[in-house]
Amino acid sequence: VRFSFLERLGIQVAAISEKADGDCGEGVAGEAFCAELGVDYAAVIRGRQVHGDHVAAVGEGERGLCLWNTDGLVTDVPGLPLAVTVADCVPVYVFDTCRRVAGVVHAGREGTRQGIAAQAVRLMAERFSCRAGDIHAVIGPSAGPCCYEVTDVMAGEFRTLGLPTEGRRLDLWESNAGQLVKAGVPRDQIEVTGICTICGDRFFSYRRGNEGKRNLALICL
Ligand SMILES: [Zn+2]
């Protein structure tokens, strides 16, 4: 699935693999998916995701590497692909059309609670002088508010932070969109794809039993 919302603004690739592309967590399926998009798989920079809020600014020096303790990546280097892997967690894509800086973050329950999407916006401002008002974002396919039920305690934590919940269900989409808006990204520059990985059958879903299988969320300037 490609996100024309960002690609039509002049980014080379903003996409996520689906089940039909195979398990893109590692190896051949990921390579084939990248090849299809004209992206060099060997160049892809990834994070060794830990459900934290660390976002790294990367460049040529990190080409092809997997960075420790990193759940989000941003770069200003054209042609340098960045990726996170997800299966229900939210992939958030960001693109500053002015400074031409792009990034992708892995925002699961923990990352969202810690505000990783806003952290990416802050880092883009700090390292690349981006203005939040120039950033466009896509909230990709992931666990939707229709299905994502957690424990009372977890839902309570979200409520305490002012993040949207309904009973024990969390709204990770609106949580991330809201955090971006709070960080200064205009609401009309955020697209929520609205595709739930749990009740839909198009993507790998941890909750639906595809443990270990991953969708690859890819962005490339
Ligand atoms: Zn659903």
Average pLDDT in the 145-154 region? 96
Count the helix, strand and coil residues of the chain and give each as a percent rounded to the nearest 5. 30, 25, 45
Helices (H), the chain: 4-7, 27-36, 109-113, 116-128, 152-160, 172-182
What is the whole-number distance in angstroms between the Cα of residue 89 and the centre of ligand 1?
13
**Ligand 1 ion local residues (Cβ < 5 A):** 144, 146-147, 196, 198-199
Other Cβ atoms less than 10 A from the Cβ of 201: the count is: 10
Q: How far is the CA of 16 from the centre of ligand 1 (A)?
A: 18
> Which of 164, 46, 139 shows the shortest CA–CA distance to 89?
139
Average pLDDT over residues 208-216: 90
Please state the length of the chain.
Answer: 221
First-residue to last-residue Cα distance in the chain? 17
Four-residue CA torsion sign, 78, 95, 195, 45: positive
Q: What is the pLDDT of residue 150?
A: 95
Rounded to the nearest integer, the mean pLDDT of the chain is: 96
* Cα 143 to middle of ligand 1, angstroms: 6
Ligand 1: centre distance to CA 194 (Å): 9
Q: What does the alpha-carbon distance between residue 211 and residue 91 come to, in Å, rounded to a whole number?
A: 17
What secondary structure letter does DSSP report for 21? G
Query: How many angstroms is it from 126 CA to the middle of ligand 1?
Result: 36
Question: Mean pLDDT across the stretch 60-73?
Answer: 96
The least confident of 44-53, 89-98, 176-185 is 44-53
The predicted pLDDT at position 25 comes to 85
Q: State the pLDDT confidence band at 210, using cuts at 50, 70 and 90.
A: confident
At residue 9, the pLDDT reads: 96
Confidence of residue 121 (pLDDT cuts 50, 70, 90): very high
pLDDT score of 24: 92
Q: Going along 17-64, which residue ranges are E strands?
A: 45-47, 55-58
pLDDT (0 to 100) of residue 142: 97
